[in-house]
Each structure stands twice: as C-alpha cells, then as structure tokens.
Structure 1
Amino acid sequence: MIYLGLAAIALVLVALVLSDGSDSVGGMLGPDQLASLAWTGTILILVVAGFWRQFTAQLGANLRALLAWALIGLALVIGYTERDRIQGVSSQVLGAVRPGTATTRADGAVTIVRRADGDFRVDAEINGRAQPFLFDTGASSVVLTAENAAALGLTPAASEFTARVSTANGITYAAPIQLDSLGVGTITERRVNAMVAKPGALTANLLGQTFLTRLSGYEVRGDRLILSPP
C-alpha cells in the first residue's frame, strides 16, 4: 500500500518538474494545487500506513474489535429505526411488572394491568402531581379522599360536604370541586369536575364517570383495562 502511494506522489512530482510553468499541468490542476495534493497525500499515506501496521500486528484481536464495533453500530441503527416498536414493547413489560402503570398503545389507547387483588388501580396525575385511583364505573364522579385532597392543597370547608355520591361501596357525602387537569398516561383532560369525600368516608381515590364519560370509550379485556382517548 505504501509503495503504491509513494509511486503516485512521485508521478505528481515528476509532472511538476516537467511542467512548462503554465497555470495548469496537463490542462487540469495548477502547480500549487498539485504540490498541495502531493503534500496532503504524503501525510495521509504515512498516517494510514502507521495505523495499518499496528492493525496487522495484532490482526485477530483487531478484527474481533472491529466486528464488535460493527455489531454495536448495527444495533444502534436497528434500535433507532425500530424505536417506536421497542418503546411499545418496553411499556407493555413495565405495565405487566408494575400493575397500575399506564402504557400507551400505537393507536393512542391507554392500558392498565389488573392487580393481584382483582382491582384496577390506576396511576394518574392531578394538576401534574401523581395520585393513585381505583377504577370505579359505579362512581358518578371522580372522588378524592380527604387526605389525598389535602395533600394537593384542596381542603373544602365542613359546610361544603353536601353532595350525595354513589360509589360501588354505597352512598357518601362529598364537596364539589374542579380539577385543573386529570391525566392517565397520555390522556389528559382539563377542568374535570370532581368531589372530595368526607374525612374517613373513603380509603382510596375513585376514577369515576366525570372523567370516564369524556373518553371515546373504555373496556375491560381480560386482565387489562383499556381507555380510549377522546
């Protein structure tokens, strides 16, 4: 390799020596351009020759390293081109490992895996802050426990607990409020009417109809709850 490169540089130098002083050599490049090309080529050949000598000195190890880097590069290319599919699979795995975690499908629907106790416990966000909920189609409204509401800064006066709320566990009294936002996975609804239950009336937040009726649909399919975005 190095001898071929040196021969090519020698030809360039001969062309410079035999030039008649015109602005171009052979009607193509000027003498200055050819000289620059010869200098750059010399440096490049020396660098490549040095690397090639080191590479061939431990050919087996270097070929294995080159193959490893090629495989890493291929994995990165595949990971980038299939990133949406990989993200979907990882979300499904996370949902199965951590029931209650909302995972988003390719069609935009959000799925939640049933917990071992048989309930659908949904990890949601109220005004950007995480709150756990029980999925409850029997609840006429989204209902917060008094304790969770207080943690969010929502503390209705005692005189405001006047609304009767029907839940799967029966009737309780609650104070009407409005949430700036309520989100489950990628589904977020604004200005959601909700209730704060009287202290001690509930042990868990309820994801009820004032949120569910805003969706285009929801269904239980096996051990999965599927929420379809509006």
Structure 2
Amino acid sequence: MPGIRGAGLLLLLAALLMGLFVDNTIAELSAMEASGVVALGGLSLLMAASIVEAFSRHWTYGVQSIAIAGGILVALLVTYASRGELQAVIDRAIGDIAVGRTVVTPEGEVVAARRTDGSFMVQGAVNGHETRFIFDTGASTVVLRAENATALGFKIDNLDYSIPVATANGSALAAPVVIDRLTVGPITERKVRALIAREGVLHANLLGMTFLERLGSYEVRGNRLILRAGTGS
C-alpha cells in the first residue's frame, strides 16, 4: 500500500505546514482547525493502509489492526472534545513553571497565563529594575513590598508609613511613593503613584489600578490575562 501511505504522509506534511505558516481561515475553519482536519485525513489513510496490509497477512491481524485504529481515533476525538479543558491545564502549568513570564504578541499585547492558584503574575520593571507583580484589580494603587524597595531604587530611611491600607492579614501602614517609570513588556507608564507596604505585610508586589487604569484595556480571557497599551504609552 505504498500509494495510500504516501498520500497519508503528504497530508500530514500539509497539516504541519498549515499549522506553522497559515494564519487566515480556510472554509470557515481556523488555520489550526483546518490543519487538524487534514492531519486526521492523513492519519486515517495510514491506518487504512495498515489494516488492508494486516488482512492480507491473516484475518486475525486485520481485526487487531482495526481495534488499534479504533482506539487511536476514539482517543483523538476525546482529546479534541476536551481541548478547552486541556488548554486550561497547559496554560496553568505554563503559568507556574515560568513564574512571572509574559509573552508579547505581534500586536503589542502583553499576555500571561493563569497560575494554579488562580492568580496572574507578570514580569515588569520599576525604574529599570526587574520585578514581578500579581495582577490585582482590587488594589487601588500599585503596591510594593518593603523587602524589595531598596533594590528598586527607593531609600528606606525616607519612607513615611502614614497611609492605612487593608490587607489579607488585616490593617497596616504603607508609605506613598511615585514610580518614575513602570514597565510591563512594551508598555511603559511614567510617574505612577504607588505605596510601599511595611515588611511582612505582602508576599508579592501588586499591579494595581494606578497602572491598570492608564492602559488602553485589560481583560481576562479564559486562562489568559491580556494587557493593551493606551494611546499615550
């Protein structure tokens, strides 16, 4: 069955090329969906060739080959039907393995994957110093940990802990500061109001509304956080 196998291999190669290089829709299917259909066709031809060859040897081999092919097809169908849940698991695993890592799309969007605890952590920079933030729309301002303040260019001795704040651990005091330059991916905002919480109050820096409200938009889509720059960024 060299002809059928050859056709199957060609379809698999075509599916790979479509997945890598095609961006437009094909017959109302996305490039990845069309690639999957073509790949399924190629795989079906390869399995059909194996079944015919197995029957030519002995009918018992043919039955075994049909059973194996059926199992493969069922597994593929189950995987396709559960692709949303599978993508969610992959996204969350990426979020935990590459903590703080963000991806920038060709359109300039900053994308982060949800972690298994449900939060989004993004890599940023404060005054040119790299740091990580938890995305938090419940925080009215950007909040930094006192433990990171010196490394981010702030002088601890000049901080005035006079602003009361509510945290998961109760009430605490924080010091008001202004971040000259706060960057996340290609997005940079200047003169961002922020607070520095006392030591032991926070376990992570918070990317709050004094930064988020300057963005063009931000959204949580499935298990992905998407940040878009404003017109002035």
> For the superposition of Structure 1 and Structure 2, which TM-score range results when normalised by the shorter chain?
0.5 to 0.7
Matched to 1:136, the amino acid is D
Q: Is the 8 A contact 1:139 1:167 kept in 2?
A: no
Deviations 1:120-170 (A, max 9, x none): 111111111110111111111111100111222313448711112345665
Q: Find the counterpart in structure 2 of residue 210 from structure 1.
A: 210
TM-score (norm 2): 0.53
- 1:183 matched to 2:205? The reply is no
Q: Find the counterpart in structure 2 of residue 165 from structure 1.
A: 165
State the Cα RMSD in Å. 2.5
Give the 3 Å change call, closer, same or farther, for CA 192–158 of structure 1 in structure 2: closer
More displaced stretch, 132-141 vs 95-104: 95-104
Matched to 2:114, the amino acid is R
Q: Is the 8 A contact 2:169 2:201 kept in 1?
A: no
Give 3-state SS (helix, strand or coil) of 2:150's partner: helix
Q: Find the counterpart in structure 1 of residue 153 from structure 2.
A: 153
TM-score (norm 1): 0.54
Q: Is the 8 A contact 1:141 1:211 kept in 2?
A: yes
- 1:125 matched to 2:145? The reply is no
What is the alpha-carbon distance in structure 2 between the residues aligned to residue 223 and residue 229 of structure 1?
Answer: 20
Give the 3 Å change call, closer, same or farther, for CA 159–146 of structure 1 in structure 2: closer
Matched to 2:120, the amino acid is F
Q: Is the 8 A contact 1:161 1:173 kept in 2?
A: yes
What is the alpha-carbon distance in structure 2 between the residues aligned to residue 159 and residue 107 of structure 1?
Answer: 39
Matched to 2:117, the amino acid is D
Give the 3 Å change call, closer, same or farther, for CA 138–170 of structure 1 in structure 2: farther
What is the alpha-carbon distance in structure 1 between the residues aligned to residue 176 and residue 199 of structure 2?
Answer: 14
Give the 3 Å change call, closer, same or farther, for CA 106–153 of structure 1 in structure 2: closer
Give 3-state SS (helix, strand or coil) of 1:192's partner: strand
* Structure 1: runs of 5+ lacking an equivalent: 1-78, 80-91
- Number of paired residues? 139
What is the alpha-carbon distance in structure 2 between the residues aligned to residue 106 and residue 174 of structure 1?
Answer: 38
What is the alpha-carbon distance in structure 2 between the residues aligned to residue 151 and residue 122 of structure 1?
Answer: 18
Q: Find the counterpart in structure 1 of residue 61 from structure 2.
A: none
Q: Is the 8 A contact 1:100 1:113 kept in 2?
A: no
Q: Is the 8 A contact 1:156 1:175 kept in 2?
A: no
Q: Is the 8 A contact 1:114 1:223 kept in 2?
A: yes
Give 3-state SS (helix, strand or coil) of 2:147's partner: helix
Shift of residue 191 of structure 1? Answer: 1.2
Aligned-residue sequence identity (percent) comes to 49
Q: Find the counterpart in structure 2 of residue 13 from structure 1.
A: none
- 1:222 matched to 2:226? The reply is no
Q: Which is higher, the Rg of structure 1 or of structure 2?
A: 1
What is the alpha-carbon distance in structure 2 between the residues aligned to residue 139 and residue 145 of structure 1?
Answer: 14
Q: Find the counterpart in structure 1 of residue 139 from structure 2.
A: 139
Q: Is the 8 A contact 1:140 1:165 kept in 2?
A: no
Q: Is the 8 A contact 1:174 1:196 kept in 2?
A: yes
Deviations 1:42-87 (A, max 9, x none): xxxxxxxxxxxxxxxxxxxxxxxxxxxxxxxxxxxxx9xxxxxxxx
Mapping of 1:1-230 within 5 angstroms?
Answer: 98-157=98-157, 160-166=160-166, 171-230=171-230
Deviations 1:156-207 (A, max 9, x none): 4487111123456654321011111111111111111111101211111111
